[in-house]
Amino acid sequence: MKRELIVDCRSGGMRAAVLEDGELVELHMEGGEPDRQTETLYYGRIQAVRPSVHAAFVEIGQELNAFLPLEDGVKLKSGDMLIVQGVAKQTTQSKGLRVSTRINLTGRALVLIPGETGVHISKKVKNPETRARLAAIGRAICPPDCAIIIRTASENVSAEQLQAEAEMLLKSWQETNQRAKGMVKPGVLTKPEPLSLRLTRDLAGNLERVVINDGDEFDALCQAQKDGRLPLQTHIEYADEQKTLLFDAFNLETPIDKALKKRVWLPCGGYLIFDFAEALTVIDVNSGKMVTGKSMEETALRVNLEAVKELACQLRLRDVGGIVIVDLIDMEKDKNRQAVLAALKDAVKNDRMPVKIEGITRLGLLEMTRKRKGEQLRRALRTTCGVCSGSGELLCEEEIARRALRQARRMALAGQRGPFVICLAEKAAKVLAAMPQPENCPPVYALASGGYREKFSVIQPGEGEIPEQAAALQTNK
């Protein structure tokens, strides 16, 4: 598999696309707020401890307090100062950053965890001899009062290089503690490396090429490679964008737009529908235009096989996390259900985030979970609609007209004198004008005035001041 990293620094921030065999599989973005990133260390103050949710809220210098789950046996009280680190869930409009007191200092080949003990080997290192060799090296280089995780990228790294990285990470932690002692209020303690460096570090094991369009970032990557923080086999290129924008050269804008759509088409003519709730993501598989199968079972199998392959790509690209429910097309044969599960397991094997597949229920629902590290793509690139408030639905014209008429009747019952002119959107105004004039109510007129579809207002212009364009409601003859 050929893996490449394409980094665009000239679009109002930094965008980094991970390609596998030329296909976009991950998109990472970094704007002007590095203090919201994961891996950032904060010097925080406990604002409140909530035993009912087994958590504390920590002031870290942001608008919203951070959420700190409490571990068993850990006792904190309001006013305590401590060092915390941002973890997987980033801030949204209503929730603060999730943080942890378990600090992870990440290098190319190692992760240092201060305050713990032990040597842990990445599960992706499969060879027993390699695991034993790395475990022995880890025990020899692990600093006191620290644990280390030996990453997959360490398989071809010498013991001397691993020791040098462990010493570098320990020095960084000591400097961080020293800096915290000089801080008098909560705030950012240590910012992570730029996105380009973090990704090249995390992908270093099998990253063939990096293409970047910023000179300073290019120089920083080359320097990191000289310092041994990036493997020499990774080719780093500078793109001057003389003729074509970097992302356009790799045709990346189209799959990015596709990852924002609710409906995703499959090659066979079927499609996926993505729906997002607060606690889970629901994906509906539909046969659509697929009508070429010899039987319903064969059609269902083919569509489902294509569906799980595509949804695995979409979950990774959209960075969807949490519970995922997939409503597959019903299949009667157990061997076909097992074939779909096997296809899904194969499709998610390259996902760098943990994915757990629970299986298919009797109702044909495929249950799975996925951990995410950053912000979902849809949250990063989209905002809630100001008209429908994110529901995707609006009141019909008939209901808007009925509500407007009821408001005029309420005003009449309250003793207000008419006539009443109801200003509302054009289609709703036509519906209202066709309604009968209410009994025991001053004359009501409908006036098309534009504006938001669901908005309306009732005015009292007085006799002789009714606008010419206003239409009187129908009177009973």
| 65 neighbors 50 (Cβ within 8 angstroms) | no
pLDDT of residue 388: 80
Average pLDDT (134-141) is 94
Average pLDDT, the chain: 89
pLDDT of residue 230: 82
Looking at the predicted structure, is the pLDDT value of residue 176 above 60? Answer: yes
pLDDT in tens, 211-253: 999 999 999 999 988 887 788 889 999 999 889 999 999 999 9
Q: How many residues does the chain have?
A: 477
The closest of 198, 180, 181, 197 to 189, measured between CA atoms, is 180
Average pLDDT (175-201) is 90
pLDDT of residue 94: 65
The DSSP line for 235-266 is: EEEE---SSS-HHHHTT-HHHHHHTT-SEEE-
Distance CA 420, CA 72 (A): 65
pLDDT of residue 120: 95
Hey, how many other C-beta atoms are within 10 angstroms of the C-beta on 72?
5
Beta-carbon contacts of 128 under 8 Å, excluding residues fewer than 6 positions away, are: none
Average pLDDT (302-319) is 95
Distance CA 44, CA 42 (A): 6
Looking at the predicted structure, is the pLDDT value of residue 435 above 90? Answer: yes
pLDDT of residue 187: 92
Lowest mean per-residue pLDDT among 107-111, 208-212, 330-334, 373-377: 373-377
pLDDT in tens, 397-429: 999 999 999 999 999 999 998 899 999 999 999
Looking at the predicted structure, is the pLDDT value of residue 367 above 60? Answer: yes
Beta-carbon contacts of 94 under 8 Å, excluding residues fewer than 6 positions away, are: none
The residue with tokens 């319903």 is: 296
Query: Residue 154 class from Cβ within 10 Å (0-12 exposed, 13-18 middle, 19+ buried)?
Result: buried
Distance CA 87, CA 416 (A): 58
Using alpha carbons, list the distances in angstroms from residue 113 to 29, 67, 72, 123, 452.
26, 20, 18, 17, 54
pLDDT of residue 160: 92
Distance CA 88, CA 375 (A): 8
Dihedral sign computed on CA atoms, order 293, 296, 299, 302? negative
pLDDT of residue 91: 46
Q: What is the dihedral of CA 328, 329, 333, 334, to 10 degrees?
A: 0
Looking at the predicted structure, is the pLDDT value of residue 44 above 70? Answer: yes
